[in-house]
């Protein structure tokens, strides 16, 4: 952990009006990177926050021909106990919202398996893969209302590696909107740990809406509280927060 946690930095904040502008700014950063470095490695998130960004990547690919054939991707997390073909799995989400609509090669997309019988091995191998490339070039993050990043819930150690996480009640409640019933929401996920995320060369965090204002306040305004996972980003030298007015309403005027 060690070398990460000696110094803190201030993230760059790009304040935008709304979700659409947030998505446009994020897409611009990703497209520029992929054009400059066709073999870029991208760390990707699921959930509502990056959907608009992915839509713009697809549109740009169709209209301007930006290529992803040599890009590799590493997703942050996957639910435990549901197969990749389940409509709510993150493997399915990524195919539906991005991978099936650009020229990325399936073999270059990495998502930890949540349906393996040997999750310990899945975690070790995923950590080794990410370490093996020296961390992704660009990690896209959303943030939970409780300040989680990936599925690193409040109280997780900042030195955590890829691991099986218990989802917080607040996270299960919030994600129940995607499932038929609350009982169906998985209780665990395989997730990059905090130290895995901090290996990334650059981090872009997306936040839209009032529900995210508490988490952004914890990062941008409050005293450092290591119980809240988003605060780990203070230890990374290249973090850009792209957030709308509502998400920033408790931290920046
Ligand atoms: C998703 C992930 C989560 C989400 C977070 C916000 O891969 O790791 O941390 O980014 O729960 O979710 P949304 O964007 O749906 O508000």
HSE toward the beta carbon, residue 19, CA cutoff 13 A: 12
C-alpha of 204 from chain center: 9
Confidence label for 87 from pLDDT (cuts 50, 70 and 90): very high
**pLDDT value of position 6:** 78
HEC secondary structure over the chain: CHHHHHCCCCCEEEEECCHHHHHHHHHHHHHHHHHHCCCCEEEECCCCCCHHHHHHHHHHHHHHCCCCCCCEEEECEEECCCCCCCCCCHHHHHHHHCHHHCCCCHHHEECCCCCCCCHHHHHHHHHHHHHHCCCCCEEEECCCCCCCECCECCCCCCCCCCEEEECCHHHHHHHHHHCCCHHHCCCEEEECCHHHHHCCCEEEEEECCHHHHHHHHHHHCCCCCCCCHHHHHHHCCCEEEEEECCCCCCCCC
Name 251's Cβ contacts closer than 8 Å, sequence gap at least 6.
213, 216, 217, 219, 220, 221
Residue pLDDT, tens place only, 117-160: 999 999 999 999 999 999 999 999 999 999 999 999 999 999 99
Report CA Rg, the chain. 17
Average pLDDT on 57-85 reads 97
Which of the listed residues 19, 43, 44, 46 should we mutate to test ligand 1's pocket, taking the one with most ligand atoms within 8 A of CB? 46
| Percent of the chain topping pLDDT 70 | 98
| Percent of the chain topping pLDDT 90 | 96
Confidence label for 5 from pLDDT (cuts 50, 70 and 90): confident
Looking only at the bridges linking them, the beta strands covering 163-166 and 188-191 are: antiparallel
Q: Give the residue numbers marked as catalytic.
A: 77, 146, 148, 153
Query: Does position 2 have pLDDT exceeding 70, yes or no?
Result: no
Closest atom, ligand 1, to C-alpha of 148: 9
Instruction: Give the range among 22-26, 44-48, 178-182, 193-197 with minimum mean pLDDT.
Output: 178-182
Average pLDDT on 75-88 reads 95
**pLDDT value of position 4:** 66
Q: How far is the CA of 241 from the centre of ligand 1 (A)?
A: 14
Query: Does position 70 have pLDDT exceeding 90, yes or no?
Result: yes
Query: Does position 3 have pLDDT exceeding 70, yes or no?
Result: no
Q: Please give the model's pTM, rounded to 2 decimal places.
A: 0.97
Q: How far is the CA of 230 from the centre of ligand 1 (A)?
A: 12
Residue pLDDT, tens place only, 45-67: 999 999 999 999 999 999 999 99
Residues with CB under 6 A from ligand 1: 45-49, 76-77, 142-144, 148-151
Q: How far is the CA of 128 from the centre of ligand 1 (A)?
A: 23
Which of the listed residues 47, 48, 148, 219 should we mutate to test ligand 1's pocket, taking the one with most ligand atoms within 8 A of CB? 47
| First-last CA distance in the chain | 34
Tokens 């799995």 label which residue?
Answer: 89
């Amino acid at each position: 952990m060690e070398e990460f946690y000696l110094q803190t930095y201030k993230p760059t904040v790009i304040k935008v009006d709304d979700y659409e502008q947030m998505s446009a700014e994020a897409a611009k950063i990703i497209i520029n990177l992929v054009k400059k470095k066709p073999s870029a490695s991208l760390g990707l998130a699921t959930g509502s926050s990056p959907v608009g960004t992915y839509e713009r990547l697809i549109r740009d690919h169709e209209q301007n021909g930006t290529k992803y054939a040599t890009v590799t991707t590493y997703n942050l997390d996957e639910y435990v106990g549901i197969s990749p073909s389940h409509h709510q799995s993150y493997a399915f989400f990524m195919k539906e919202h991005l991978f099936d609509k650009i020229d990325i090669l399936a073999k270059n997309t990495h998502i930890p398996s949540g349906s393996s019988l040997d999750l310990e091995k899945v975690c070790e191998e995923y950590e080794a893969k990410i370490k093996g490339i020296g961390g992704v070039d660009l990690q896209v993050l959303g943030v939970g209302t409780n300040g989680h990043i990936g599925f690193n819930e409040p109280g997780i150690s900042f030195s955590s590696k890829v691991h099986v996480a218990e989802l917080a009640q607040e996270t299960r409640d919030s994600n129940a909107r995607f499932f038929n019933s609350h009982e169906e929401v998985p209780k665990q996920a395989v997730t990059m740990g905090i130290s895995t995320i901090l290996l990334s060369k650059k981090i872009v965090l997306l936040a839209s809406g009032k529900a995210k204002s508490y988490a952004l306040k914890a990062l941008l305004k409050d005293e450092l509280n290591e119980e809240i996972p988003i605060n780990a980003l203070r230890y990374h030298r290249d973090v850009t927060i792209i957030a709308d007015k509502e998400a920033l309403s408790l931290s920046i005027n």
